[in-house]
Structure 1
Amino acid sequence: MTQTPEFTQPPWVIGSQKEEMAWIEATHPSKKGRNNRSRPQQKYLRNLRIQFDFNVPYTNKGPTTAWSKMMRKLTRTSLVEEGFDLIPTIEVLLRGLTKIKFRYLETLTIDKTPFEPFPDATHDIRKTIDALEHYSGDKPSGTIVEIKANMPQGKKCRATITLKKIHTTKEHSVNIQIKGGIPEELYHEFRNYLDKKLGVKELE
């Protein structure tokens, strides 16, 4: 029998069962194989830095003389104090971290002092959020908050958040650094959540 050049001889004519299955898969790909080939790879963003200010009233701080005010304005070192509450803002930032799969709270400090308003303090971010919701102590005083959090064991990713009530005009209220990688989709969800909950004025 004469064969045309483009015709592939079925393996069951001359080959083994293994060759037969390979021929069937090549000529009629399975649904599973098609799905694996068409599924797009997830894109990761690495070593991120996000900075923003709140859309809240603020008070100018610092010197009162005209000369000092002018110099601070020129050098962008004038001080402002933003009118946001610490506890609700900390809570929103922690919730934002859970949206990008952070689970463990390494430290939470106010003016470099550990902030533990509840006796059963835990390093689980979700339990910390629950405790903050029921916090009824005195309103904490302070101007700088630092949060450090980690992803579950096995995922090398760490977040450091600095929150400042008083800062210079060339600085931002919130500075978030994420060392490691997170999926791009989760990153956008994180940004949208912060924008919605905190009244963000600038998001870089």
Structure 2
Amino acid sequence: MVTYPGLPAPVISDWLSRDASRSRYAPGTTFQIGKIDMLANTGTYIDAPFHRYDGAKDIGDYPLEAVADLDGVVIRATTRSGRGLDNALFRGHDVGGKAVLVHTGWDAHWRTERYGTGHPFLTRDAAEQLVAAGAALVGIDSLNIDDAADGTRPAHTILLGAGIPIVEHLCNLGQLPDTGFRFFAVPARVKGIGSFPVRAFASVAT
């Protein structure tokens, strides 16, 4: 499974296979111990400031309340005139203290060649608007929250510079209501790394 063009897919293997484990345990008792050789930016993942800034807070520094049980809002951007999503998209929405999930519908192209090219992204002024409005977390169902062709990466720079977690490669945002749900994107508490996969999910109020 390739998440990002040019980056390697994870390799999953046995460190200890069931056959090899037979000599270590009692007759009839076997175990498997798996091994994963994987980039941290694989699948749906969360970014910490250390991803962009040397010496900044890393994945292990996120307190649980920063990545779990967040009040959520979905911003719909499936009908758009271009790839860049600017600050107008967020006008009239209460995003303060919330997980702001941008629904572009680009996840429909996941695991196809198209997913890696021409993807929607947030512009610099959109990122600035989200910081000014006090967003708690920003996620998107796209290849990158920035234009992959823009080497300055303004959305990453601005959001992570403000300490706002970013979650990329989300999916199924169309199944969520606009509001009335809690969002979770909890990584393993790993030090010295700027990104890590998450099992992102939402709990919808009934």
- TM-score computed with the length of structure 1 as normaliser: 0.26
Structure label with greater radius of gyration: 1
Higher helix proportion (structure 1 or 2): 1
* TM value normalised by structure 2: 0.26
